Amino acid sequence: MAESGSCKPLLYKVNRQEPELVAPAKPTPRELKELSDFDDQEGLRFQIPVIQVYKRSDAEILTTTKGELQRDPAKVIRKALAQALVFYYPFAGRVREGPGRKLMVDCTGEGVVFIEADADVTLEQFGHALQPPFPSLEELLYDVTRLKCGGFIFALRFNHTMVDGPSLAQFMNAVAEIARGASEPSVPPVRQRELLNARNPPHVTCIHREYEEVVDTKGTIIPLDDMAHRSFFFGPTEVSALRMLVPRHLTHCSTFEILTAFLWRCRTIALQPDPEEEMCVICLVNARFKFNPPLIPIGFYGNAFALLVAVSTAKKLCENPLAYGLELVRKAKADVTEEYMRSMVDLMVTRGRPHFTVVRSYVVSDLTRAGLREVDFGWGNAVYGGPARAILSIASFYVPLKNSKGENGIVVPICLPALAMERFVKQLDGMFKQVHDHPTKLSATNATKTATPIKSSL
């Protein structure tokens, strides 16, 4: 099955220093800047913890062997952060809410909170695979935590109304470039948030089921007690196995499409909803290339993603082969056009910036091309770079990772009620065992016999 990671107890001590504000290294404009009509929707008004794990570099080992002092990552990053904030000065301000719930940034230049810490633990103690969930996670969410082995962890919480994954990676790369000696970012930041404002007058032309107001009539909102956090690695072997579960005409589909359909189906089986309940998978995908001619310039930092949604009753999703859900995901992806994006922004204004649907929904965000793992502060690429965990039981992220065998793949953190997680793992085991035991038969039949009856828990 997919290689999995779970949170095993690991006791260690963290000594943190007092928080400080890191302000821009030079004076910056004092002004009020509105966020776009897409930025300030209700569903983005929260913070996501991101964690970057770095090993001690070969250069550090060499200089230490010669008796020289190794560099302090906290000092290097703090100084680079102050310089990067000169170019990204809105990040040093404060988000305010104005009339009509409109969000804006008060560019005060106050700075960002910075905390450095030391932990008496090594990367090796975290286990063979550095992936979510990380033990004692809250102890690691300081800006720079130096580890006993010479490695370090860089962590931050970002306000999703300010940036999406690619924009966050752009800012972090700016800090990293300056940390490595550059005087300014190689990609100048562009803050044209008005590009994703509603039209005048706004005109909703598309159906947006991702923002439907769904009433939880059957108690299907997942309770938050007794939750289990695990992550699952999908490498070349697992992805090839999934392709054997679909007809030949669908084997050319993207890894994102087939993995999303697979997880949506397995998760629904594990949750055991009412068979007639409609289940949604909402996918966050980069929309920077959905405009013709291109609208979003290189260097843009903000939110520029599309929410696409596929919907099915639990019964149809679980009792049909994987190809059924895959076709729904592919159709939803094809529906996202430039007009769809503009219509979605217009909906934000006409509907009061609603939250995306969470009842019976599973949200997946593709960060495989965001570039977080490639952020190099001078210690090489991150061993792990991405969100620190799944968002409750609602959302997962696709994060690129090299596993303990040296295989490149995707790790997916997932959070479910404990019993549902047991069923989820069993479902994954069963699907991959089926491929392993009968590869020739599955290839010949194109997986027409992979249906799983759904059993309601209600």
Task: Just list the catalytic residues.
Answer: 160, 376
Q: Which residues pair with 227 in a beta bridge?
A: 417
Residue 188: partners with Cβ closer than 8 Å, 6 or more residues away: 87, 299
Burial class (CB in 10 A: 0-12, 13-18, 19+), 210: buried
Q: Which of 364, 307, 365 is nearest to 336 (CA)?
A: 307
334-348 burial code (b ≥16 CB/10 A, e <16):
eebeeebbbbbbbbb
Chain centroid to Cα 291, Å, comes to 23
d(CA 458, CA 456): 5
Question: What phi, psi does 94 have (nearest 5°)?
Answer: -135, 140
Q: Find how far residue 237's CA is from the centre of its chain.
A: 23
Whole-number Å distance between alpha carbons of 167 and 99: 27
Cβ(151)–Cβ(54) under 8 Å? yes
Q: Any alpha helices (H) in 272-380, and if so which ranges? A: 314-319, 322-334, 338-350
CB 154 within 8 Å of CB 54? yes
| β-strands 395-402, 94-97 pairing | unpaired
Short-list 49, 38, 45, CA closest to 300: 38
In angstroms, the CA 217 to CA 348 distance is 25
Give residue 179's Cα distance to chain centre.
25
